């Protein structure tokens, strides 16, 4: 997608007045759509029986700041929408291990003056360690740091992005790393559907490092810590007003 200069003919904003976050969710009439459905919201998916609801649109009781102590500070907007606020990441109070399915609904702002990693950037970190990137990558040839990428590990098989401002879904199936004697013996594994499209199929979190295969236990800006221990779900503040809704996690028995 060619990054275009944003033009508005409706409201003139004085230079001294900051642009409000909501302004980034206005018209996308000048975006060249690849197909009409790219401007239609992905359907919201209710939490199934047995799921742990992490965000129901009403409160952030299940979340804290990244330090695990201070209350989560992001804003809940009308319509049960959670908006990223500057001041840091948020994490779930609860930690998770083993196998589970994580469902996340999100949308990215329309920021045509920005480019690359400055264009609607956030991320979903499974166990606080493994990032599935959130970004406005509409129409691009996806790399491992684009939307749907497992950051610095694997690019999505296809670019399944919808246009900016449009609601999208991630369904992330996760298998925690297997450990022996307190050390990782097999890497974590992710399967990801983006807007219902399979973009990672049992992707082992490992990458080549020179001539060796390196197990990844923490992607960029993750919480780190003992990869053999449970970890929270982390949503990243990268300075852009990305929005989330309807987040739930379903434990899966072996």
Q: pLDDT digit string (tens) for 54-68?
A: 999 999 999 999 999
Question: In the prediction, which pLDDT does 211 show?
Answer: 86
**CA-based angle 110:104:165, to the nearest 5?**
15
The pLDDT value recorded for residue 12 is 35
Cα distances from 108 to residues 54, 80, 87, in angstroms, run 20, 16, 18
pLDDT tens digit string along 128-161? Answer: 999 999 999 999 999 999 999 999 999 999 999 9
Half-sphere exposure of 139 (CA within 13 A, CB side): 12
> Residue 197 forms beta bridges with which residues?
194
Tell me: pLDDT of 110 over 60: yes
């Amino acid at each position: 997608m060619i990054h275009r200069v944003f033009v508005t003919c409706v409201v003139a904003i004085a230079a001294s007045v900051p642009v409000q976050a909501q302004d980034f969710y206005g018209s996308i009439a000048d975006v060249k759509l690849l197909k009409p459905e790219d401007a239609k919201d992905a359907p919201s998916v209710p939490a199934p029986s047995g799921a742990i609801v992490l965000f129901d649109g009403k409160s952030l009781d299940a979340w804290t700041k990244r330090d695990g102590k201070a209350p989560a500070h992001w804003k809940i907007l009308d319509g049960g929408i959670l908006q990223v606020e500057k001041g840091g990441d948020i994490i779930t109070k609860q930690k998770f291990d083993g196998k589970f399915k994580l469902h996340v609904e999100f949308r990215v702002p329309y920021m045509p003056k920005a480019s690359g990693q400055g264009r609607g950037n956030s991320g979903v970190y499974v166990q606080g360690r493994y990032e599935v990137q959130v970004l406005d990558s509409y129409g691009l040839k996806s790399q491992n740091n684009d939307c749907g990428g497992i950051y610095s590990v694997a690019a999505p098989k296809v670019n399944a992005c919808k246009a900016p401002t449009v609601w999208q879904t991630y369904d992330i199936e996760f298998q925690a790393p297997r450990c022996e004697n307190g050390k990782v013996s097999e890497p974590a594994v992710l399967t990801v559907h983006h807007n219902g499209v399979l973009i990672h199929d049992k992707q082992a979190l490992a990458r080549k490092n020179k001539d060796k295969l390196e197990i990844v236990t923490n992607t960029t800006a993750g919480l780190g810590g003992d990869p053999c221990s449970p970890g929270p779900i982390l949503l990243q503040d990268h300075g852009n007003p990305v929005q989330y809704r309807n987040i739930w996690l379903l434990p899966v028995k072996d």
